[in-house]
């Protein structure tokens, strides 16, 4: 590798870092602008937009709505996903490949098509647009991620531990609950955080399955369609800070748990 190539490579790398970070930093900054109009240069700064968030009933209710949806859908995804992973991991049976294919299907369907399919199916099942429909769609969509993460962890569980438990008289359910499940906790935690973030930030499914009450991304989208303003920056920044903090914390947490076990 010549010196020139090396410099070029690191330039591309830092350029990419800038591409990834600069837009978000600018967005956060713009929320401090002391003017109704979005745009540079920023001549004077204010905290008004960020402070205003705490009094904005619409934003607070959308925030709570999104968090509620994320938590409920994650609980369903984790339960179902773990069960599917236990069935699929390390077992050979007729139709396994087909079941695996169907399991990952929701993760591969492009966003708009998945939203449309869920919308049609919700009506078929008689689920009204609204919280229930969104929770259901997010739960189904996130199951594949749980399955993949839990399967990866389950494949490293020493088989002898389960056999020992069974030899000592544990039935399969207790052996699972007392041996496999504690071993899977780091993977389940990681997958849960991932599902929470996916659900909290999802737009397209929430948009097509939602009723009158908007989730946070849907609220931002609706506001954006009627024009940009520093208020939107403040809302978007709140969403950004929450996701980034949860994401980083989860990353550290799962790494620590992986190290310990």
Partner 1 sequence: MTYDASAREERGAVPAAGGDRTFWGRLASWAPYRALVQIATATPRRQFLILAAFPVLWVLTQHLGPMLQMLRVSLTDAYPVAPGTEQHFTFDNYLRFLGDSIFWMPFFRTLSFAFVFTLCTLILTYPVAYFLARHVSPKNRMLLLLMLLIPFWVGEIVRTYAIMILLGNTGAVNLVLKWLGLIDRPIPFMYTSFSMGVGIVYLTALYMLLPLYSALEKLPKSLNEAAADLGAGAWTRFRRVTLPLTLEGISSGCTLVFLISTGFYATPVLLGGPSTTVFAETIAGFFHVAGDEWPTGAAFAVIMFLAALVITTLFQKLMTALRKGDAK
Scan residues 86-145 and list those touching partner 1 (CB under 8 A).
86-88, 90-91, 93, 99, 102-103, 105-106, 108-121, 123-124, 140, 143
Whether the CB-CB separation of 205 and 118 falls below 8 Å is answered with yes
- Count the residues of the shown chain that bind partner 1, applying the rule CB under 8 A: 96
Residues 163-202 interacting with partner 1 (rule: CB under 8 A): 163, 166-174, 177-178, 197, 200-202
Q: Would you count residue 159 as binding partner 1 (CB under 8 A)? A: yes
**Which lies closer to partner 1 via its Cβ, residue 9 or residue 51?**
9
Q: Is residue 53 a contact residue for partner 1 (CB under 8 A)?
A: no
Residue with tokens 């929470």: 196
Q: Which CB atom, from 31 or from 153, has the smaller least distance to partner 1?
A: 31
CB of 191 to partner 1, least distance (A): 14
The minimum distance between CB 144 and partner 1, in angstroms, equals: 8
Q: How many CB atoms lie under 10 A from the CB of residue 190?
A: 22
- Paired with 33 in beta bridges are 45
* Tokens, residue 203: 């737009």
Nearer to partner 1, 57 or 168 (CB): 168
Cis bond before residue 41 (omega within 30° of 0): yes
Minimum distance from residue 168 beta carbon to partner 1 (Å):
6
Shortest Å distance, C-beta 162 to partner 1: 8
The span from the CA of 49 to the CA of 59, in Å, is: 12
List of long-range contacts for 190-194, beta carbons under 8 Å, 24+ apart: 190/149, 190/250, 190/254, 191/77, 191/78, 191/81, 191/145, 191/146, 191/149, 191/150, 192/74, 192/78, 192/146, 193/246, 193/247, 193/250, 193/254, 194/142, 194/145, 194/149, 194/250
Closer CB to partner 1, 51 or 90, in the complex? 90
**What's the CA gap between 114 and 107, in Å, rounded?**
9
Q: Which of residues 195-254 bind partner 1 (CB under 8 A)?
A: 197, 200-204, 207-208, 217, 220-221, 224-225, 228, 232-233, 236, 239-240, 243-244, 246-248, 251
Under rule CB under 8 A, which residues in 17-46 are in contact with partner 1? Answer: 17, 19-24, 26-27, 30, 37-41
């Amino acid at each position: 590798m010549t010196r020139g190539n090396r410099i070029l490579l690191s330039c591309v790398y830092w350029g990419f870092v800038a591409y990834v970070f600069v837009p978000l930093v600018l967005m956060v900054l713009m929320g401090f602008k002391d003017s109704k109009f979005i745009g540079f240069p920023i001549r004077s700064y204010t905290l008004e937009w960020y402070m205003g968030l705490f009094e904005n009933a619409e934003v607070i209710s959308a925030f709570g709505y999104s968090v509620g949806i994320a938590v409920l859908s994650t609980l369903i995804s984790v339960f179902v996903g773990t069960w599917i992973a236990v069935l699929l991991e390390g077992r050979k049976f007729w139709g396994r490949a087909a079941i695996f294919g169907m399991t990952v299907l929701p993760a591969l369907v492009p966003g708009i098509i998945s939203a449309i399919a869920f919308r049609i199916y919700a009506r078929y099942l008689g689920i009204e647009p609204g919280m229930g429909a969104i929770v259901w769609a997010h739960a189904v969509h996130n199951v594949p991620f749980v399955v993949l993460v839990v399967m990866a962890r389950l494949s490293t569980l020493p088989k002898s531990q389960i056999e020992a438990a069974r030899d000592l008289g544990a039935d399969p359910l207790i052996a699972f609950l007392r041996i496999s499940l504690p071993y899977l906790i780091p993977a389940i935690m990681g997958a849960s955080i991932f599902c929470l973030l996916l659900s909290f930030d999802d737009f397209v499914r929430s948009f097509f399955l939602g009723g009158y009450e908007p989730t946070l991304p849907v609220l931002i989208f609706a506001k954006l369609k009627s024009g940009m303003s520093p208020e939107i920056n403040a809302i978007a920044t709140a969403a950004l800070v929450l996701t980034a903090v949860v994401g980083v914390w989860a990353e550290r947490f799962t790494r620590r748990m992986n190290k310990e076990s």
